[in-house]
A and B are shown apart, each in its own frame.
Chain A
Amino acid sequence: MMLLKLERAVNRVSDLFGKIAAVLFVLLLFNVFYDVLSRYVFNDVSIAMQEMEWHLFALMFLLGVPFTLRADAHVRVDILYDRLSTRKRAWIDLTGTLCLLLPFCLLVGWYGVGFAHESYLLGETSGDPGGLAYRWLIKAAIPFAFFATALSGLGLALKSVNTLRGQSMADIQGNHP
């Protein structure tokens, strides 16, 4: 039960990232639309708004990665995977998460911290006229997203362990409204 609750808590966090990313996407869509409109119709260009485009875009897909992992929507080559039993699949997910996903995300996240910190110390801004300041914020999205993906990976590992123990989320669904 303990592990199931933990899995549920982790999943909720990953889902939250997905929701935030969905809002960021809608903002991106109208940001680009606004930039086209204002340039073509009003002959007005804002570099800050243009830079905001890639800020939203980057944050959107970075936060989307942990959510997509939780939603099991990352591509798998299913030539063999499909034919395996649930237990064998759980073993693959558990091993893959511990040996590949977690080390990768944690290591990239670790170097991402230094990367963003450097930018913070320099007070880095955009080099273009009217561009956005606080470049460290968007750089900090890299370690944040990789740690978030590691967390989501932990959720996948928990799910696999729970499956191997013969338990699933369905067992505690009744416990909350």
Chain B
Amino acid sequence: MIGIVMFFAALALLLSGFPVAFIFGGVALLFGVFAEGPDIFAFMPFRIQSIMQSTTMMAVPLFIFMGLVLQKTRLAEQLLEAMAKLFGGVRGGLAISTVLVGALLAASTGVVGASVVAMGLISLPVMLKYNYEKSLACGTICASGTLGQIIPPSIILIILGDVLGIPVGDLFKAALWPGLLLIGAYVLYILIYAFLNPASAPALPIDRNISRRTYYGQALKAILPPLALILVVLGSIFAGVATPTESSALGGVGALILSLLYRQFSWKMLYEAALETVKVTAMVFAILLGATAFSMAFSYTGGDYIVEEVLTGLPGGQMGFLLLSMLAILVLGFFIDFVEISFIIVPILAPVADALGIAPIWFAILIAMNLQASFLTPPFGFALFYLKGVAPVSIRTTDIYRGVVPFILLQLVVLVTILMFPGLYGLV
């Protein structure tokens, strides 16, 4: 009961505009201490230490730094502009380029904070510069930043594999087609939206004075170096040089090398990028610190039992069960983070799914898609906070909320196709 009140209290206080991280922390304190006494906070240092030692999270600052260096040296801008130019007069080119770059980053990290923030730094300023509609720009970034959850390697898939007892490699393979379909759906949506609303995503101006050949030639020349950098990051994982987390450091150092090659490097630039990295990273981790206090107070005051009760009461029937469990996960995803869902909720659902003859891999992919959507769902979707944290002041929270809605719907559509036609994806 306290858990539910806590949730609504946090929701109401968020509207005050006080920093999100300290609202989570403060609400946890008020309710936790009220219900259990101050000693409940003796658990906090342990939880904080877990975050400090989660080496996969190191990808967050490292990717942010790479994004910042690419941004400060204008290499990112050139990359996206050049990519968009390849689309010629087609509208929405920048947004599509953002999705594609996001997909590439997604293939090297599975950490949402890392890719959303990096994409926010890299592509938001460019889209705004070309007068993209704010909500479209924000939605595109959040959606492509969360692609990392479904495109392998991904933390969600690793955890789900562990919980459901499916080898990680099998899950990685199974997630590939749904991930690609999702990318396709985003691109298609952007094309259609831009076609219907010309002002929302203008095509980049074409320079009439140069030949088509030079035009595309110049574009390719601008694309290659930063694209090569991203491919090196990916390649280092495939070649066994680095783990996914370490690859992000190669990206950071690689970006510095690029800046040297382009004579854009200066100590001032390095210092500013580092200081900015600290700021953005601290923003992300402050939310995680606040959220861990919140989930601590939530579960130690009995919240986890409420959740368990609701779930054990789900009715049977294969489709009925799948629909209801997906709905339950989506709703819970509003306020419980995906690790909790994977470890607490999935084990409750898994035996039922098994008894109903639902293939574990199918079930896992459905859950992963669903959890990906939960990063985007207002008001508590972490991707939204992260983008807000790096966006210029002209971007308001409502722009972000409005922007993600169509992308959430797209994810639901893809989710439904997986639900209806698992055979197409080779999941059964």
Residues of A whose CB lies within 8 Å of any CB of B are 18-19, 21-23, 25-26, 28-30, 32-33, 35-36, 40, 53-54, 57-58, 60-65, 67-69, 71, 73-82, 84, 89, 92-93, 96, 99-101, 103-105, 107-108, 110-112, 114-116, 138-139, 141-143, 153
Contacts and interface: CB of A to CB of B under 8 A. Distances in A.
A141 B280 CA distance: 19
Given A68-B283, A74-B286, A138-B52, A33 B253 contact: yes
A33 B250 contact: yes
Given A25-B277, A29-B252, A61-B285, A53 B19 contact: no
B362 interface: no
Given A67-B279, A80-B15, A30 B253 contact: yes
B28 interface: yes
Given A29-B249, A75-B19, 9 more contacts: A18-B275, A25-B277, A61-B61, A62-B285, A64-B285, A76-B20, A92-B17, A96-B16, A114-B42
A101 B388 CA distance: 20
Contacts of B289: 65
A111 B45 contact: yes
Given A60-B61, A139-B49, A108 B41 contact: yes
Contacts of A142: 45, 48-49, 52
Contact of A57 (B13, B17, B52): B52
A81 B18 CA distance: 8
Interface in B211-265: 236, 241-242, 245-246, 249-250, 252-253
Contacts, number: 210
Contacts of B336: none
B28 A36 contact: no
Interface residues of B, number: 69
Contacts of B250: 33, 36
A7 B289 CA distance: 26
30 contacts: A18-B278, A22-B271, A28-B62, A30-B253, A33-B252, A35-B246, A36-B246, A36-B249, A40-B242, A54-B55, A54-B58, A61-B278, A61-B281, A65-B286, A73-B279, A74-B389, A75-B21, A77-B15, A77-B397, A78-B388, A92-B18, A100-B26, A101-B19, A107-B41, A107-B44, A108-B44, A108-B45, A115-B46, A142-B49, A142-B52
Contact of B287 (A33, A75, A92): A75
Closest 3 CB pairs of A and B: A81-B17, A100-B26, A64-B282
Nearest to B18: A96
Interface in B85-127: none
B119 to A, nearest CB: 16
B76 interface: no
Interface in B265-317: 270-271, 274-275, 277-287, 289, 293
Given A33-B253, A58-B53, A103-B29, A69 B45 contact: no
Nearest to B54: A54
A68 B279 contact: yes
A50 to B, nearest CB: 8
Contacts of B26: 96, 99-101, 103-104
Contacts of B18: 76, 92-93, 96, 100
A115 B58 CA distance: 24
B375 interface: no
Interface in B1-49: 13-23, 25-30, 33, 38, 41-42, 44-46, 48-49
B407 to A, nearest CB: 20
| Chain A binding surface SS class | helix
Nearest to B20: A75
B209 interface: no
A107 B279 CA distance: 24
A74 B249 contact: no
Nearest to B253: A33
B275 A32 contact: no
B17 A60 contact: no
Contacts of B198: none
Given A22-B278, A30-B253, A74-B286, A53 B385 contact: no
B15 A100 contact: no
Nearest to A104: B25
A75 B20 CA distance: 6
Contacts of B284: 61
Contacts of B15: 77, 79-80
A23 to B, nearest CB: 7
A33 B66 CA distance: 13
A28 B277 CA distance: 12
Contacts of A96: 16, 18-19, 22-23, 26
Nearest to A81: B17
A28 B62 CA distance: 9
Contact of A75 (B29, B46, B51, B388): B388
Residue among B49, B271, B379 with the highest chain A CB neighbour number at 10 A: B49
B17 A29 contact: no
Contact of A29 (B65, B271, B285, B287): B65
Contact of A19 (B38, B53, B275, B280): B275
